[in-house]
Amino acid sequence: MTARFASLSSPPIVYSVRFWNRKAVGAIITAAYGYPPLFVNDFSRALSLAQLNHAPLIGWSSRVTAEQAKRIQSHVEFYRIEDGFVRSVGLGAGLNGGASFVVDGTGIYYDASQPSDLEVLLQEQSLTPMEVARGEQLITALVSQNISKYNLKGSDKGLPDSAGKEAILVVGQVADDASVRSSLSQVLDCESSENINKDLLAHTRSVYPDACIVYKPHPDVVSGLRAGMLSESEVLNYADACLPQVDIMAAIDWCDRLETVSSLSGFEALLRGKQVTTYGSPFYAGWGLTQDHADLPRRGRERSLAELVYLALVEYSHYYHPHTQQVCTPEALIDYLAQQKKSIWVALKTRVLTAVSWLGTQLGL
């Protein structure tokens, strides 16, 4: 774990982690620090307990406001926790528990407005040949077993014949997601755009007027759980096809280039040897691996893909095996997720949980 507590004499206080993630988060923190965490949903109570017990406070990153972060940092040690890069079979917004997380004591990987532990690792840490080799082996495992962040089953039907044209995949995101709003794009207005997905599509068509363009919306948006939906007619003003149900891995295999603001699918495309253009500031941009349209002066160093993978997936991330209920290696989790993807019962459970989450959203729960 890159984030280290100076010392522990009482359990860490963990703020605003959803109930479906608590078992995994609890196991990871207990294994790393020797104390099971105390989960708290009320911010004032969490801060008071951390102060009273001289304990660190770990907050779910996207639910800690800038004002709250300042209050925490002026009183106690503060760490952000967030989903990792190889998460689960099924959406977090669909109540599916995560199996990988990052804990960051500097910032958080998706917010380039400030450094993060991952950025510091990429900028400063030297790797041994064995570590680079492990990064290469992880790339092989992820690609050969077709593992992504959510591992959703989709169709490989409907992808058009590009007829010799450049095949471009435009990946939509949750429009109000922190990874979008905090991007430092020099081309798109990520902070205040009404719908960044429409802006990205329009810009891509203007740059590649003769390309065959496919748009893949974010699964959280398609499921009705998050913001950023575009109608099919809006998409087809700029794209040759809108394929919400297509498998993201099939779409990546189809394309020559992927265009994104800051989606993790850009990272997944890099693993599969595709050209990637970023308009925001995802963690994998700025290291000489992508074509970037954001000013990232802190990231002046070139990194190989294997180095990026090792530092992001091994040094920065933590893993929980849902079957053994113990912490594990990324390799063990990749193998587990590959098996879960084949299970019809897991697929059914994922659909049911997504439906329950959607109903709760409609009812304002």
Residue 288's pLDDT is: 97
Contact 191, 175 (CB under 8 A): no
Give me the residues paired with residue 25 across strands: none
Question: To which H or E segment does residue 81 belong?
Answer: strand 78-83
Residue 338's pLDDT is: 92
- Of the candidates 15, 332, 357, 363, which has an alpha carbon nearest to the alpha carbon of residue 147? 332
- 3-class DSSP state of 142: helix
- Of the candidates 126, 106, 102, which has an alpha carbon nearest to the alpha carbon of residue 115? 106
Interhelix angle 264-271/129-144, nearest 10 degrees: 100
**Cα 232 from chain centroid?**
26
- What's the CA gap between 303 and 13, in Å, rounded? 35
Residue 357's pLDDT is: 45
Structure token digits, residue 206 = 């203007």
Structure token digits, residue 87 = 């998460």
Structure token digits, residue 26 = 């609890």
Domain assignments of the chain as residue spans, ordered by start: 13-125+319-362, 167-294
- Of the candidates 93, 217, 99, which has an alpha carbon nearest to the alpha carbon of residue 147? 99
- What's the CA gap between 43 and 2, in Å, rounded? 25
Exposed e or buried b for every residue in 202-232, given b needs 16+ CB within 10 A? ebbbeebeebbbbbbbbbbbbbebbebbbee
- What's the CA gap between 355 and 287, in Å, rounded? 39
Interhelix angle 129-144/330-341, nearest 10 degrees: 0
Contact 244, 225 (CB under 8 A): no
CB neighbours of residue 342 within 10 Å:
10
- 3-class DSSP state of 234: helix
Residue 19's pLDDT is: 92
Q: Provide the CB-side half-sphere exposure for 98 (13 A, CA).
A: 25
Which amino acid, residue 43?
F
Question: To which H or E segment does residue 204 belong?
Answer: helix 196-207
pLDDT, tens digit only, all 365 positions of the chain: 455 555 556 899 999 999 999 999 999 999 988 889 999 999 999 999 999 999 999 999 999 999 999 999 999 999 999 999 999 876 555 456 899 999 999 999 999 989 999 999 999 999 999 999 999 999 999 999 999 998 877 777 889 999 999 999 999 987 667 777 777 777 787 677 788 899 999 999 999 999 999 999 887 777 665 667 788 899 999 999 999 889 899 999 999 999 999 999 999 999 999 999 999 999 999 999 999 998 888 998 999 999 999 999 999 999 999 999 999 999 999 999 999 887 565 565 666 555 544 444 455 54
- Name the pTM for this structure: 0.89
Structure token digits, residue 336 = 């587990």
First to last CA, the chain: 34
Q: Residue 263 contacts by C-beta under 8 Å, 6 or more apart in sequence?
A: 171, 172, 173, 218, 282
Give me the residues paired with residue 78 across strands: 57
- 3-class DSSP state of 45: helix
**CA dihedral in degrees (162, 168, 169, 171; nearest 10)?**
-150
Residue 4's pLDDT is: 53
> Cβ-count burial of 186 within 10 angstroms (0-12 exposed, 13-18 middle, 19+ buried)?
exposed
CATH fold for domain 167-294: Rossmann fold (3.40.50)
- What's the CA gap between 156 and 62, in Å, rounded? 33
Question: To which H or E segment does residue 320 belong?
Answer: strand 317-321
